[in-house]
Amino acid sequence: MGEQSSEHPYGRAEQLTEGPFAGWWTWGRGADPYETTIGPFCFTMENGRTRSAFMPRREHLNGSGAVHGGALMSFADFALFSIAHNALANNVKAVTLTCNCEFLSAGTLDGGIVGAEGEVLRDTRSLVFVRGLVTQASRPVLAFSGTLKKIGM
């Protein structure tokens, strides 16, 4: 998948140049080796809100043929950071302090793009509180919330 590096308000993000997510952003190859391996996870701004997404592949499935809960939880963790991008502007680094997930239904291989949207509930000097919802074909799949700890400040 083609990528182009850019200094962007998202920090060291790379913009995808081809495929179903052309024009969307990702943190870039090697920035997070785990997400690079299981992704790509992507994000974009739509109507002032951040939307995150990925296309499920066979590698994302569990033994029952549904999208693995671990893949959904990893995606929710990615979405925490994309939703909080304004709070993390100017290269503010953060780590996940908490990530709470509630499974609502199963994601499927043939259900299309898995997406996430959410909101920042509170942004303090050192913490960012976020909540969101993962959906597939407008069906809620996973509700999540989390706290990000700003570091190096």
Report the candidate in 149, 103, 94, 142 with the shortest Cα–Cα distance to residue 126: 149
Encoding tokens for residue 104?
Answer: 């609502």
The predicted model scores a pTM of 0.89
- 27: domain CATH number? 3.10.129.10
Quick check: 95 and 114 in contact, CB under 8 A? no
Encoding tokens for residue 28?
Answer: 């870039």
Question: Which residues, at least 6 apart from 110, have a Cβ–Cβ distance to it below 8 Å?
Answer: none
Question: Which residues, at least 6 apart from 130, have a Cβ–Cβ distance to it below 8 Å?
Answer: 80, 83, 84, 118, 119, 120, 121, 145, 146, 147, 148
Q: Where does the pLDDT of residue 118 fall: very low under 50, low under 70, confident under 90, or very high at 90 and above?
A: very high
Q: Which amino acid would we find at residue 44?
A: T
Q: What percent of the chain has pLDDT over 90?
A: 65
Report the candidate in 96, 69, 71, 68 with the shortest Cα–Cα distance to residue 82: 96
Q: Which amino acid would we find at residue 153?
A: M
Q: Where does the pLDDT of residue 96 fall: very low under 50, low under 70, confident under 90, or very high at 90 and above?
A: very high
Phi then psi dihedrals of residue 80, to 5 deg: -55, -45
According to the model, what pLDDT value does residue 29 have?
64
Segment 54-80 shows an average pLDDT of 96
Segment 104-123 shows an average pLDDT of 97
Residue span of the structural domain in which 147 resides:
3-151
Q: How many domains does the chain have?
A: 1
Q: What percent of the chain has pLDDT over 70?
A: 90
Q: Does the pLDDT at position 3 exceed 80?
A: no
Q: What is the pLDDT of residues 16-30, one digit of tens each?
A: 888 889 999 887 666
CA atoms within 13 A on the CB side of 145: 5
Mean model confidence pLDDT for the chain: 89
Q: Does the pLDDT at position 132 exceed 60?
A: yes
